[in-house]
Amino acid sequence: MGGTVSRPHFPHTFGLVPTVNIVFKGKFALITKLILLSGLSAILVLLIESAFAKKEYAIALFLALSLVALCYTYLSARTVPMKFFLPGLLLLFAFVIAPIVYTVVMSNFNYKTGNIISKQEAITQIKGLGVEPDANGTTFDIIVGRASTGEYAILASDTPNHVYFISTATKKTDLLPSQVTLNADGVAIAAPNFTPIPEAQLAGHEDYSKINYSYQNNYFISVQGINVGAVFRQSLRYNPSNDTFENLINGKIYKDNGRGNYVNVNASDDVLQPGWRAPNWFANYEKLFNDRQVRGPLIRVFIWTVSFAFLTVLTSFAFGLLLALTLNKPMRGRRIYRGVLVLPYAIPSVMSILIWGGMFDTEFGAINHLLGTHIAWFQNASFARTAVILVNLWLAFPYFYLISSGALQAIPSELLEAAAIDGANPRQIFKKITLPLLMQILTPLLIASFAFNFNNFNLIYLLTGGGPKDLLGGQIAGATDILISYTYQIAFGSNTQDLGLASSISVIIFFIVAGISLYGLRKSKVLETFG
Amino acid sequence: MKKWLRNNLWRHAVSLFMCAFALFPLYLVILSSFSQTGSLQLTSFAPNGLSWRNYKLLFSSPAIPYLTWMKNSLVVAGTVAIVSVIVGASSAFAFSRLKFKGKKLGIQLLLLVQMFPAILAIAAVYVIMERVYRFAPRIGLGTQAGLILIYLGGAMGVNIWLLKGFVDSIPIELDEAAKIDGASPVQTYWLIFVPLATPVLAVVALMSFIGTFNEFILARLFLVDMSNRTIAVGLQAFIAGQYSRNWGPFAAGSILASIPIVIIFLSLQKYIIGGLTAGSVKG
């Protein structure tokens, strides 16, 4: 919504030019600029460095480009317009445009619980999970320390059999009982070429516990606590040359399916966990239209979203217009009425929605108290929907009252007088002149309001949470869920968080809202001002 | 008398009815904030006794770090209001006054961007900030600084758009006169535009303040720590699913948090309504 905020009178400021000039020209200005710019550059350089170190190349690249742009813009004299909007532009790019682009990218990814990490991380985790203990479940008492080479080592003791050895990631050295010093429990605590690390110091670093210490054949020892090691063997082996996992025990081969998982080549439902985020192109969109599990709730939610936005605009506008007409003529107490009537619009809506939530409480709520009923408002779809519309009526009618009375005053009174002189009665004047003019003025605002309510997340989330829904039936969409709250549920709410699917719904909502808004703008002729 | 009745009675009846509707929840919440029990249950719609118990709880109970929440809200909303107006105003000035390549495209893009509800990209914002957290824990997910940055980005579109409309309304002759006097665009901006626009900038800043103060979902997703939360998130979490138990302190807390916003709103009413209708009435 464009337009002016106000039009103050213009004071004469030209006389100030020479006196304030010093702030904009000369050494003082230059030094201030350089100090600010170098401070900002230092911060950016630090961020770029650490982003690069953590392999967040896209972010590092963006920051580096910002740095170059900042320095070039403010150090060269050639880029005057850029000097004005670079900060705003950078913020817009980083936190509005980049997320929009990223949403579109994510909507083409298999990006959900179980497919959140990168492929490299997934391979590491699969390797870590793909182990099994040996048949006897052998364990050793161990002491963690360092070998003479400096690498981590364990001194392992099999106390009943008096077997002792030192083991590192690469080498196992057997020891004779005579070579080791035992404690009272018969556990070796000292040996040649082995320096124990005191337990107190181990707490600081976790690296030692991630090493597979050598044992025999395919088996290795994994640290299971500060002084216990257990024998495992790798059951899944990664083969980097053809990017497959092989199960060493039963010989099954798992291949990258191109959608973020290693899948058994012979059985497509045998999948290794975890997977990784991988492009699946239009699979999320396809799911929206073809998967009945997804499509069913989506259509229901869509219908309710449109009905809700339409009904809420209709009811609030009706009440607002009625009030505007009522209070359009001078009358006693008009100012007080006006003051009271805008209150619902002035109060932070988060607070008032929560207050209404309490009022609709079944047991103790004021609404049931007032009506003398015992309705479980948020347990029944129709009641919950009624409550949503009613609460939004309370929240929104002042807005429609304000814009309607603004529009009423914008209608030239000569028109109405002329009609009266021509013999039209008040009803005819209203029907034939006032209302059409009013609608012409207000239609763009009504459309904008429709678009806003289409995504009125706070109302739904804070009042009903989208419910009622049958959670036991595994339902994600509730009776009052609108598209955006449903999307939020898919992305963050339920057990499986599906960011890819949520993004694809977001993209679709965007097109719907953009369509509505552009239609509204065409109506309000804002676009013509570019012509 | 009869004529007065016919002409005015229905007006008063309608107005009174709507006032009652508007005031009903507010009356209830004030009533329960002063109740002695702090429970949601109403014994009657008339006040019985006055107690400061719920208000005292807000400032003494360790379970409700009310002052911290309030301070967080003021810091976040205040920073966003001030910075977004400073940054937005200069962009708006450039879009309105300076000539450069791609201006028309820029304005159209801005129009499109300011229509885009931030909440649609919320999953992407979350993932991006999660990644930022990995290398810069101070501005990543879970920090107020990160949240402020996101709000700033989100406020840009609307603020630039709003302020551009204002700059457009300042007669271009002023700029031209300044130019003849030898002022550069930077000087024109600081010496002509900023002094003229100060009241408007203040209004836009306060509107941004109200909007940010009232923002819930990003704050909810971002601020996990109790001590980090804004008032909206704090009170929501406090009441969530326990309407009956914490109702009294919640009512008191909402009233206190709403008062400054209501005052700002009522004193800006004229401008806000002007902003609401100006665009359409003009067309």
Listing DSSP states for A516-530 in one string gives HHHHHHHHHTGGGGG
Q: Please tell me which residue of chain A has the smallest CA distance to B247.
A: A358
Of B212, B147, B169, which is closest to residue A2 (Cα–Cα)? B169
Could A403 and B254 be called an inter-chain contact, meaning their C-beta atoms sit closer than 8 Å? no
Quick one: tokens of A521?
């703008």
Q: Please tell me which residue of chain B has the smallest CA distance to A351.
A: B254
Could B166 and A4 be called an inter-chain contact, meaning their C-beta atoms sit closer than 8 Å? yes
In a domain, B248, yes or no: yes
Of residues A351, A366, A442, nearest to B254 (C-beta): A351
**Cis ω for the linkage preceding A81 (within 30 of 0):** no
In a domain, B276, yes or no: yes
In a domain, B12, yes or no: no
Q: Give the mean pLDDT of B116-145.
A: 87
Domain limit, last residue, from B230, B252, B271: B230
Could B191 and A442 be called an inter-chain contact, meaning their C-beta atoms sit closer than 8 Å? no
Quick one: tokens of B69?
């929440």
Per the model's pLDDT, the better-predicted residue between B214 and B44 turns out to be: B214
As a whole number of angstroms, the distance between CA B178 and CA B170 comes to: 13
Residues B206 and B250 in one domain: no
Contacts of B67 (CB under 8 A, 6+ apart): B59
As a whole number of angstroms, the distance between CA A57 and CA A51 comes to: 7
The H-or-E segment that residue A142 falls in is strand A139-147
Structure confidence at residue A340 (pLDDT):
92
Question: Hey, of A83, A329, A351, which one would you mutate to test binding to chain B, going by the most B CBs within 10 A of its CB?
Answer: A351
Could A96 and B157 be called an inter-chain contact, meaning their C-beta atoms sit closer than 8 Å? yes
Please list the helix, strand and coil fractions of chain B in percent, rounded to the nearest 5, in that order: 80, 0, 20
Question: Hey, of B7, B15, B120, which one would you mutate to test binding to chain A, going by the most A CBs within 10 A of its CB?
Answer: B120
What residues of chain A lie within 8 A of the CB of B247, using their CB? 358
In a domain, B66, yes or no: no
Structure confidence at residue A526 (pLDDT):
56
Distance from CA of A327 to the nearest CA of B (A): 7
As a whole number of angstroms, the distance between CA B152 and CA B77 comes to: 10
Could B217 and A461 be called an inter-chain contact, meaning their C-beta atoms sit closer than 8 Å? yes
pLDDT tens digits in sequence order for chain A, 531 residues long:
333 333 333 444 444 445 555 556 667 778 888 899 999 999 999 999 999 888 888 899 999 999 999 999 888 877 788 888 889 889 989 998 899 999 999 999 988 888 888 888 888 888 888 888 887 888 888 888 888 888 888 888 888 888 899 998 888 888 888 888 888 888 888 888 888 888 777 776 677 878 888 888 778 888 887 788 888 888 888 888 888 888 887 888 888 888 888 888 888 888 888 888 888 888 889 988 898 888 888 999 999 999 999 999 999 999 999 999 999 888 888 889 988 999 999 999 999 999 999 899 888 888 988 888 888 999 999 999 999 999 999 999 999 999 898 888 888 888 888 888 888 888 888 888 888 888 888 888 888 889 889 999 999 999 998 878 876 666 778 899 999 999 998 888 777 788 999 999 999 998 888 888 888 877 766 555 543
Residues B106 and B193 in one domain: yes
Structure confidence at residue A530 (pLDDT):
46
Neighbours of A415 (CB within 10 A): 13
Question: Hey, of B10, B179, B276, B277, which one would you mutate to test binding to chain A, going by the most A CBs within 10 A of its CB?
Answer: B277
Statement: residue B25 has pLDDT above 90: yes
As a whole number of angstroms, the distance between CA A2 and CA B278 comes to: 8
Residues B77 and B183 in one domain: yes
Q: Please tell me which residue of chain B has the smallest CA distance to A493.
A: B221
Q: Please tell me which residue of chain B has the smallest CA distance to A408.
A: B281
As a whole number of angstroms, the distance between CA B234 and CA B225 comes to: 10
As a whole number of angstroms, the distance between CA A242 and CA A345 comes to: 63
As a whole number of angstroms, the distance between CA A136 and CA B177 comes to: 94
In a domain, B207, yes or no: yes
Structure confidence at residue A471 (pLDDT):
67
Say whether residue B91 is in contact with chain A using an 8 A CB cutoff: yes
Residues B218 and B81 in one domain: yes
In a domain, B56, yes or no: yes
Quick one: tokens of A417?
């007088």
Residues B223 and B85 in one domain: yes
Neighbours of A244 (CB within 10 A): 15
Residues B281 and B155 in one domain: no
Question: Hey, of A74, A350, A482, which one would you mutate to test binding to chain B, going by the most B CBs within 10 A of its CB?
Answer: A350
Residues B160 and B283 in one domain: no
Interface of B with A in 236-255 (CB under 8 A): 236, 239, 243-244, 247, 250-251, 254
Residues B226 and B248 in one domain: no
In a domain, B254, yes or no: yes
Per residue in B39-49, pLDDT (tens digit) is 777 777 777 77
Q: What is the model's pTM?
A: 0.82
Domain limit, last residue, from B230, B249, B274: B230
As a whole number of angstroms, the distance between CA A346 and CA A332 comes to: 24
Per DSSP, the residues of A380-439 read SHHHHHHHHHHHHHHHHHHHHHHHHHHHHHHS-HHHHHHHHHTT--HHHHIIIIIHHHHH
Of residues A81, A359, A502, nearest to B123 (C-beta): A502
Are the CB atoms for B197 and B125 separated by under 8 Å? Answer: no
As a whole number of angstroms, the distance between CA A487 and CA A341 comes to: 34
Query: Residue B187: which CATH number?
Result: 1.10.3720.10
Are the CB atoms for A143 and A154 separated by under 8 Å? Answer: yes
Looking at residue A112, the DSSP 8-state letter turns out to be: B
Quick one: tokens of A182?
């035992």
Residues B104 and B218 in one domain: yes
As a whole number of angstroms, the distance between CA B137 and CA A503 comes to: 25
**Which CA distances in Å does B221 have to A101, B105, B130?**
21, 34, 11
Q: Give the mean pLDDT of B27-56.
A: 83
Q: Please tell me which residue of chain B has the smallest CA distance to A1.
A: B279
Domain limit, last residue, from B208, B230, B252: B230
Question: Hey, of A84, A361, A504, A527, which one would you mutate to test binding to chain B, going by the most B CBs within 10 A of its CB?
Answer: A84
- Find how far residue A127's CA is from the centre of its chain: 30
Per residue in B61-104, pLDDT (tens digit) is 887 889 999 999 999 999 999 999 999 999 988 888 888 888 88
Of residues B107, B183, B283, nearest to A17 (C-beta): B183
Are the CB atoms for A363 and B244 separated by under 8 Å? Answer: yes
First-to-last CA distance in chain B? 43
What residues of chain B lie within 8 A of the CB of A8, using their CB? 196, 199-200
Q: Give the length of chain A.
A: 531
Quick one: tokens of A218?
């395919």
Residues B38 and B105 in one domain: no
Residues B183 and B268 in one domain: no
- Kindly provide the residue ranges of all beta strands, DSSP E only, lying in A210-344, ordered along the sequence: 212-214, 219-225, 228-234, 236-239, 244-247, 253-256, 262-264, 278-279
As a whole number of angstroms, the distance between CA A171 and CA A188 comes to: 19
Looking at residue A271, the DSSP 8-state letter turns out to be: B
Dihedral through CA A427, CA A432, CA A438, CA A443, nearest 10? Answer: 130
Are the CB atoms for A254 and A262 separated by under 8 Å? Answer: yes
As a whole number of angstroms, the distance between CA A151 and CA A149 comes to: 6
Provide the domain limits for residue B275: 29-60+241-283
In a domain, B54, yes or no: yes
Could A499 and B127 be called an inter-chain contact, meaning their C-beta atoms sit closer than 8 Å? yes
As a whole number of angstroms, the distance between CA A430 and CA A508 comes to: 40
Structure confidence at residue B275 (pLDDT):
58
Q: Provide the number of structural domains found in chain B.
A: 2
Structure confidence at residue B207 (pLDDT):
86
Tell me, what's the ipTM?
Answer: 0.90
Residues B78 and B200 in one domain: yes
Could A359 and B239 be called an inter-chain contact, meaning their C-beta atoms sit closer than 8 Å? no
Interface of B with A in 92-151 (CB under 8 A): 93-95, 98-100, 104, 107-108, 111-113, 115-128, 131-132, 134-136, 149-150
Say whether residue B75 is in contact with chain A using an 8 A CB cutoff: no
